[in-house]
Amino acid sequence: MNLFLADFKYIILWWLTAVFASLFFLPATFKIFNKFYDKGYLFAKTFASFGITFIVLITGIFEIIPFTKVGLWWIFGLLILVNLLLFKIGYFKDFFKTLCSHYRIFIFQETIYLIILIFWSYVRGHAPDIEGLEKYMDFGFVNSALKTTFMPPKDIWFGGLPINYYYFGHLVVAVLTKLSGISSALTYNLAIASICATTFSQTFSLAGNLIYCLKPKSLKPLIIGGLISALLLTFGGNLHWLYKSIKLGSYQNYWYPDATRFIGFDPDTTDKTIHEFPLYSFVVSDLHGHLNDIPMVLFFLAVLLVFYYYLPQINLFLKTAFLGWILSCCYMTNAWDFAVYGLVFGFVCLLFTSSIFQTFKNGILVVLFWYLFTLPFSLNFIPMAEGLKISDGHTPFYQLFILYGGFWLIAAPFILFIIKKKKPLDLFILAIIISATLLIIIPEIIYIKDIYIYDHRRANTMFKLVYQAFILYSLVSGVIFYRLITGLKSKILVVFYRLLFSFVFLIHLIYPVFAINSFYGGLKKYHGLNGQSYLQKIYPDNFLAIEWLKNNVNYQPVIVEAVGDSYTTYGQVSVATGFPTIQGWVVHEWLWRGGYDKPAERQAEVEKIYLSQNLAEAKSLLQKYAVSYIFVGAKEYEKYPTLDPSRFEKIGAKKVYQNNTVSIYQL
């Protein structure tokens, strides 16, 4: 408990940083979401974090404002000028009026956000290590961004070139980290917790505002419906644990990842897929694009509701430009979301305008603005997709039902209900349901070819599409529940639907008991939020040497360290410092660089630097990659057992650091 109390100050500081940033975007947020019962208050955090980061990216790419603390304050100065302009045109009178009239709602919603932030920070503190799965990659991207003066950030595992991946979400974390002044070893876990809190609170707000469109007589339905959707989207699972427990005759040995590795694994086939959902992401805590982008896709859906339900008459260019900007942020964070929410946009526009021509015109303009806003990022980025393929693997229906049947049981009665009695809001909900269902169907028809082996050929396509389907279904679940229990005339049908919904709701929310207990050891021992503490225990000498580099090297030099396989603890120096190395995780760079040849060549060259008998060759390779520091520690001796570090002094390198087992040489 004392350790948690010690971390509590960082949790509060991180929260206050988010609140501070959101203040600069509250006037614009209130203007956009003026028709919402809560004025869109909770969306200001996402608007602010992504908006400020976009400014950082654009001004950094064109080398206008450096990514430093001073540079950030210049950006805040620009935001102050924008807000002063709003004040000058008289908008602030309405702004302060809104603050005074809605402050109770704002405090209530901020409290919800803070409770979830504290709760998931506490959960993360029981297994905080930034190690395992792809945490090294995500942590390295954040640290590289923190060390970068101008954009794009450098690739920590391919020295000399920028990151060729969707790093915008990691840059968001880096911006908040630099603004807060907290170590990235802590903010990695705080970022996971804040995304969890933002996901929950924004879902609560958006679902509540969807119900608000139905003009309930009190706020109670908004709160209940909002909580239902927020719980399902943030902490819900699927029906898999129930199916598996029945099949095995017991739930006691249920292994929670099986809910995300079902198709192709049980039974075993050559069509292995991935079908994750937000809670699984929060539990395993990779700071990946699909997780980082959840707040922004919810923001997009909220804006979509405003533009097509409340303000259909809004200026076409203003509408499509803003939607295009949001989709550009989604693309730079998690590219698949541009296509997914472009699809959602298309259905919403079509159902509300009843015009294919209008939908096409709106869509062309959105894509045009998306392209313009994304262009600075794309100048330093090469897409990795290799083309479309027809799916030759197909999922048995019973497996799809186990994964998504709970949502179908919730949604099917709604579709039947609105055939006879439809309200304008039902079109928005229907667009969400249609989009989610198509996202599940698409991988059964086509998939995007990538580097994954044949057995996993459609795994990534399915993963990225059904992840968003889960979000969309969950979002409208609480709204559908309210719509049916207040709209159905038959008491018997109302009772039946209540029982059906309660069954699905409870089954989905039992999953986190398995997941959290398993991954976090039943929450029995709190270890703290420092994600690098494991390194101090397992590689204490490496840890001390890395801390020396972080404290004594103020720029972002190229270093050389041992090359190892993906998903291992190789690359820990570049990851922790943000200093690029010649070659890191080979398979990841194979994906990012569109082929194996270049990473393989670099891997061989690093081995020559550490082992070649030809010292002139080793020196030439060091010069080729402009290496400033050579790291010799536990992983280097493990990879290159015959390594003699004295070789580096023979080629002119100077030993600048030494502890028990680690030497660092400077060129």
- Nearest partner of 278 among 511, 46, 75, judged by Cα: 511
Please give the full DSSP string across 8-77, using - where no structure is assigned: HHHHHHHHHHHHHHHHTTHHHHHHHTTTSTTTTTTHHHHHHHHHHHHHHHHHHHTTSS-SSHHHHHHHHH
Q: 504-520 in b/e burial notation, b at 16+ Cβ within 10 A?
A: bbebbeebbebbbeebb
Judge if 379 and 491 occupy the same domain: yes
Mean pLDDT, the chain, as a whole number?
Answer: 95
- Per-residue confidence (pLDDT) for residue 647, from 0 to 100: 92
- Nearest partner of 46 among 202, 235, 177, judged by Cα: 202
Judge if 501 and 562 occupy the same domain: no
- Per-residue confidence (pLDDT) for residue 20, from 0 to 100: 97
User: pLDDT digit string (tens) for 143-196?
Assistant: 999 999 999 999 999 999 999 999 999 999 999 999 999 999 999 999 999 999
**Domain assignment of residue 528, yes or no:** no
Structure tokens belonging to residue 13: 């500081």
Please give the full DSSP string across 297-319, using - where no structure is assigned: HHHHHHHHHIIIII-TTS-HHHH
Angle at 294 between CA 366 and CA 427, to 5 degrees: 55
Phi, psi dihedrals of residue 163, rounded to the nearest 5°? -60, 130
Task: For residues 31 and 271, give the distance between their C-alpha atoms in angstroms, rounded to a whole number.
Answer: 49
Helix axes 184-212, 2-23, angle to 10 degrees: 60
Task: For residues 373 and 276, give the distance between their C-alpha atoms in angstroms, rounded to a whole number.
Answer: 30
Separation in Å, CA 579 to CA 340, 399, 401: 35, 45, 47
Q: What is the mean pLDDT of residues 567-571?
A: 95
Handedness of CA 335, 76, 110, 484 (dihedral sign): negative
Task: For residues 221 and 353, give the distance between their C-alpha atoms in angstroms, rounded to a whole number.
Answer: 29
| Lookup result for tokens 């069954």 | 503
Judge if 513 and 548 occupy the same domain: no
- Beta-carbon neighbour count of residue 230 at 10 Å? 26
Judge if 539 and 579 occupy the same domain: yes
Judge if 175 and 104 occupy the same domain: yes
pLDDT at 383 over 90: no
Judge if 446 and 546 occupy the same domain: no
The answer to whether 303 and 491 are in contact (CB under 8 A) is no
| Lookup result for tokens 């959105």 | 366
Judge if 573 and 508 occupy the same domain: no
Report the half-sphere exposure of 536 (CA within 13 A, side-chain side): 7
Domain end call among 497, 519, 541: 519
Give bridge partners of residue 632 from the DSSP assignment: 663
Structure tokens belonging to residue 137: 């990659």
Alpha helices in 183-277 (DSSP H): 184-212, 220-235, 240-248
- Per-residue confidence (pLDDT) for residue 595, from 0 to 100: 86
Judge if 63 and 200 occupy the same domain: yes
Structure tokens belonging to residue 212: 């608000």
**Domain assignment of residue 146, yes or no:** yes
Q: What is the mean pLDDT of residues 515-524?
A: 94
Helix or strand run (H / E) with residue 357 = helix 356-378
Structure tokens belonging to residue 140: 């390295």
**Domain assignment of residue 524, yes or no:** no
Region of 97 on the Ramachandran plot (φ > 0 left; ψ -120 to 50 alpha; else beta): alpha
User: pLDDT digit string (tens) for 608-621?
Assistant: 999 999 999 999 99
Structure tokens belonging to residue 207: 């679902």
Given pLDDT bands bounded at 50, 70 and 90, which one contains residue 306?
A: very high
- Per-residue confidence (pLDDT) for residue 82, from 0 to 100: 87
- The total number of structural domains that make up the chain: 2
Question: Can you tell me whether residue 455 is helix, strand or coil?
Answer: helix
Judge if 376 and 469 occupy the same domain: yes
Task: For residues 620 and 634, give the distance between their C-alpha atoms in angstroms, rounded to a whole number.
Answer: 25
User: pLDDT digit string (tens) for 259-296?
Assistant: 999 999 999 999 999 999 999 999 999 999 999 999 99
User: pLDDT digit string (tens) for 52-88?
Assistant: 999 999 999 999 999 999 999 999 999 999 888 877 7
User: pLDDT digit string (tens) for 100-132?
Assistant: 999 999 999 999 999 999 999 999 999 999 999
Structure tokens belonging to residue 540: 């204490």
- Per-residue confidence (pLDDT) for residue 90, from 0 to 100: 66
Q: How far is CA 348 from the centre of its chain?
A: 24
- Per-residue confidence (pLDDT) for residue 94, from 0 to 100: 81
Among the listed ranges 310-314, 327-331, 385-389, which one has the minimum average pLDDT value?
385-389
Amino acid letter for position 427: L
Angle at 423 between CA 418 and CA 428, to 5 degrees: 85
Structure tokens belonging to residue 623: 């010069």
Q: What is the mean pLDDT of residues 345-374?
A: 96
- Nearest partner of 439 among 342, 541, 521, 565, judged by Cα: 342
- Nearest partner of 546 among 538, 556, 535, judged by Cα: 535
Residue 267: partners with Cβ closer than 8 Å, 6 or more residues away: none
Domain span at 132: 2-519
Judge if 140 and 229 occupy the same domain: yes
Domain end call among 519, 550, 572: 519
**Domain assignment of residue 400, yes or no:** yes
The answer to whether 479 and 213 are in contact (CB under 8 A) is no
Q: How far is CA 569 from the centre of its chain?
A: 23
**Domain assignment of residue 525, yes or no:** no
Give bridge partners of residue 630 from the DSSP assignment: 560, 665
Structure tokens belonging to residue 244: 């598996």
Please give the full DSSP string across 546-578, using - where no structure is assigned: HHHHHHH--S--EEE-----TTSSTTHHHHHH-
pLDDT at 606 over 70: yes
Judge if 348 and 384 occupy the same domain: yes
- Nearest partner of 605 among 588, 591, 587, 624, judged by Cα: 624
Domain end call among 519, 554, 578: 519
Judge if 195 and 54 occupy the same domain: yes
